[in-house]
Amino acid sequence: MSMPKTLKRVLMGPGPSDVDPRVLEALSRPTIGHLDPEFLNILNEIRSLLQCTFQTKNEMTLAMSGTGSAGMETCVVNLIEPGDPMLVCINGVFGMRMADVARRCGADVTTLEIEWGKVFDPGQIRQALQKKAAKVIGIVHAETSTGACQPIEDISKIVHEHGALLLVDTVTSLGGMKVDVDGWQIDACYSGSQKCLSCPPGLAPVTFGDAAVKVIENRKTKVQSWYLDLTMIRQYWGSERLYHHTAPINMNYAMLEALKIVKEEGLENRWARHLQNHQILKAGLSTIGIHYVAQPGHELPMLNAVSIPSGAGDAAVRRQLLNEFNIEIGGGLGAFKGKVWRVGLMGSASTLSNVMLFLSALEKCLLDQGIKFDRGASIAAAAEKASQL
Ligand SMILES: *Cc1c(COP(=O)(O)O)cnc(C)c1O
């Protein structure tokens, strides 16, 4: 079966998110060489816009070839040498993935695990570091599997008091809520192109502060991954312009356009838009008895993880949303499989019209399943909330 040329979904899952037509247009421009001076200018512009988006002056800021997981692996593999102790904080799928990556890189991994949906308290991190020192502490800012937002600032202080490096996953948060790499003193940070930056999947922005760069420069062993070795890649992104691997040219066009859109909107405006649409959706959902699974007060604005109402078929509702309304939402992962829906409001998909469209579509699907509530209640509550904001 071939894909209809015009198939257009509303992407309200955990990523990828809807891509702006300007970004799709950029993607289709003629491919040029990876050492063409015009392309090298594009890389410089991407670095400077990524610095703005990450809120950092870090010189080592670039877009790695690959998706968000390549960003994760880049950070870990460059900072870790075999046997180095690393503490990984786990409260969902992506913390688990980071621990897996770290073990494969040869780290001596200690995990700190709490219930899914909960966030870490700085005291828990202090206790873990007192028990066993670590070179790197890895933590997820926006845990896409649970919809929980982890406060970073206080944890950063504790990590640095213990002389360790802080590595933060901002795949889902970057471009959708505050990420302040310099202000929060994050040493290494990675993201992905297809969540709140609304670019197709394929690039992983990363940034490294001075202390992290020093660790990379003073390595005693070669970086285990040839492809992700920043000691070589920095010579392509830097002034040497040494060939390492062929940059995905058109993906970089797309990334540049996506970052320009972020800049035009303004970071603060973009965060406010994500927050407002989340609040409107939440007002609608809670009116029909659908509740968030993240720790109260820590719900992510761009990823709404909610309990599936009892009596509703998980797969049936998601299939109906897709087939009847062209709306994609995500199911639960791991411990939340079959129990949770994940409704994304990421990047250009975070709009009032998507919220209203989703609520009306969801009401129809739930009514078809025999779930009882006042028809139209979620839409009325959302509309009321929207007019108050
Ligand atoms: C999506 C995601 C990743 C992985 O990114 P891919 O692009 O799927 O490789 C990592 N961490 C978090 C928090 C994510 O949401």
pLDDT of 114-154, one tens digit each?
Answer: 999 999 999 999 999 999 999 999 999 999 999 999 999 99
Spacing of C-alpha 195 from chain mean position: 6
| Predicted pLDDT of residue 3 | 65
Nearest residue (CA) to ligand 1, atom 12: 171
Alpha carbon distance 254, 199 (integer Å): 6
Nearest residue (CA) to ligand 1, atom 3: 68
DSSP at 172: T
Q: Which CA distances in Å does 345 have to 74, 230, 275, 378?
A: 27, 33, 9, 17
Question: 171: CA distance to ligand 1 center in Å?
Answer: 6
Closest by CA to 344, choosing from 356, 330, 333, 331, is 330
- Give the residues surrounding ligand 1 with Cβ less than 6 Å away: 15, 67-69, 72, 94, 140, 142, 144, 169, 171-172, 192, 201
Q: Which atom from ligand 1 is nearest to the alpha carbon of 143?
A: 13
Question: 140: CA distance to ligand 1 center in Å?
Answer: 10
Question: 69: CA distance to ligand 1 center in Å?
Answer: 6
Q: Which atom from ligand 1 is nearest to the alpha carbon of 194?
A: 7
Residue of 11, 91, 94, 228 to mutate, ligand 1, most atoms within 8 A of C-beta: 94
Sites in the chain below the pLDDT cut of 50:
none
Query: Helix, strand or coil for residue 303?
Result: strand
DSSP at 135: S
Give the torsion sign (CA, 277, 282, 288, 290).
positive
| Predicted pLDDT of residue 7 | 83
Query: Are 173 and 278 spatial neighbours (Cβ–Cβ below 8 Å)?
Result: no
Question: 68: CA distance to ligand 1 center in Å?
Answer: 5
Question: 149: CA distance to ligand 1 center in Å?
Answer: 15
Q: Which atom from ligand 1 is nearest to the alpha carbon of 145?
A: 15
Q: Which CA distances in Å does 72 have to 155, 169, 234?
A: 19, 7, 17
Residue of 89, 172, 304 to mutate, ligand 1, most atoms within 8 A of C-beta: 172
Q: In what order do the strands lie in the sheet with 165-169?
A: 60-65, 203-208, 188-190, 165-169, 136-140, 85-90, 108-113
Cβ neighbors of 323 (< 8 A, separation 6 or more) are none
Alpha carbon distance 357, 319 (integer Å): 16
Q: Which atom from ligand 1 is nearest to the alpha carbon of 67?
A: 7
Question: 153: CA distance to ligand 1 center in Å?
Answer: 22
